Every structure is written in C-alpha cells, then in structure tokens.
C-alpha cells in the first residue's frame, strides 16, 4: 500500500510539474548555502510539496509516520516516529528553471535509523518512474532493474 501510494503521488506531482514548466515561474533564494543549485526554490516546489504532504497525510495518520520536506522547516517529528517520509518535490530545481533534463520528484520512506525502506523517483521529463522497496528490488516503469556488476562493464 505505501509503495503504490508513493508511486501514484509522485506521478501526480510530476504531472503538475510538467504542466507548469513552460510558464513564467517565480524563483526565490533560500539561505546562502554557497551553491546556486541548492539556494533556489520556485513556487512550483512549494505547490508540489504541499500536494505531496496533503496526499501522504492519511498514511502518516494511519501508520504513525512523520514527514520531512525539503521546502519546509524540520519539525523534528522524524526523531520521534519509527519511520518518516522524506520528500524533495523538485530535486534539481535549477534544471527545472532552465527547462532541461535533470530534475525529478523524490519520495522516500526512511526508518528512524536512516535505512530507506521505500524509494520513488519520478523523472517526469523523461517519463521514467523509478521505485524500490527493501527486499523487493528496484524498478523503472514497473520493469525490474539492477546494478551492473563491476566485472560486467564494457571496455
């Protein structure tokens, strides 16, 4: 239920992102981090995070999960719960503002000790939905994928 919900939410977020990418979008700066890529935030980042948080809220309540979002202050609830959602609504905001590939929506369910148990990345620009769950493997658009062994690399 949690993996499928995260996939559905990430796809919905990606649809919203793609619908806004050609618009004149407001861009602001976060605190000075030393890197323009990590300093900018758009109104779409905020909209998408709010969409994701609202969609995850029933699951947070049902399973007693915390929420940590890239674009809001950390309320430290992730230290109190056994699991928390970690969300970056637009990972690669700079690329999004430049309308080039290299941005995605990232949603993960992380155990309190830092072990990720579910991960979903929606590369909406390229229509690729990556998903994984601890013990279940990794997938791209619901097709199994795996890392290539070092010895299998071509020359």
**pLDDT tens for residues 44-85?**
999 999 999 999 999 999 999 999 988 876 676 766 889 999
Strands 116-123 and 128-133: antiparallel
In this structure, what token pair is assigned to residue 91?
């990972």
Q: SS3 breakdown of the chain: % helix, strand, coil, rounded to 5?
A: 35, 30, 35
- Yes or no: say if 128 and 141 are a contact pair by the CB < 8 Å rule: yes
**Degrees to nearest 5, angle at CA 53 with 50 and 54:** 85
pLDDT value for 34: 61
In 10 A of CB 16, how many CB atoms? 17
Q: Quick one: what percent of the chain has pLDDT higher than 70?
A: 86
pLDDT value at residue 35: 60
Specify the pLDDT at position 131.
98
CA distances from 37 to 109, 117, 122, 145 (A): 24, 27, 19, 29
pLDDT at 70: 86
pLDDT, residue 83, reads 97
When pLDDT is averaged across residues 98-123 and rounded to a whole number, the result is: 96
Give the DSSP H/E element, type plus range, for residue 57.
helix 43-63
The residues that bridge with 145 in the sheet, in sequence order, are 138
**Stated pTM of the model:** 0.87
Read off the pLDDT of residues 17-42 as tens digits, 9 standing for 90 and up: 999 988 888 787 766 666 665 678 89
pLDDT at residue 61, rounded to an integer: 96
Q: Residue 77 corresponds to which tokens in the numbers above?
A: 């609830």
Which has the higher per-residue pLDDT, 80 or 135? 135
Q: What is the pLDDT of residue 3?
A: 98
């Amino acid at each position: 239920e949690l993996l499928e919900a995260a996939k559905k939410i990430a796809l919905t977020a990606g649809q919203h992102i793609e619908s806004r990418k050609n618009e004149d979008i407001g861009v602001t700066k976060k605190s000075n981090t030393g890197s323009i890529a990590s300093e900018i935030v758009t109104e779409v980042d905020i909209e998408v995070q709010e969409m994701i948080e609202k969609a995850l809220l029933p699951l947070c309540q049902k399973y007693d999960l915390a929420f940590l979002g890239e674009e809001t202050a950390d309320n430290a609830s992730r230290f109190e719960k056994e699991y928390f959602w970690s969300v970056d609504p637009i990972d690669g905001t700079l690329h999004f503002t430049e309308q080039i590939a290299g941005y995605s929506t990232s949603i993960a369910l992380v155990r309190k000790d830092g072990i990720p148990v579910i991960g979903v990345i929606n590369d909406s620009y390229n229509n690729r939905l990556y998903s994984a769950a601890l013990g279940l493997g990794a997938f791209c658009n619901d097709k199994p994928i795996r890392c290539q062994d070092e010895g299998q690399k071509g020359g």
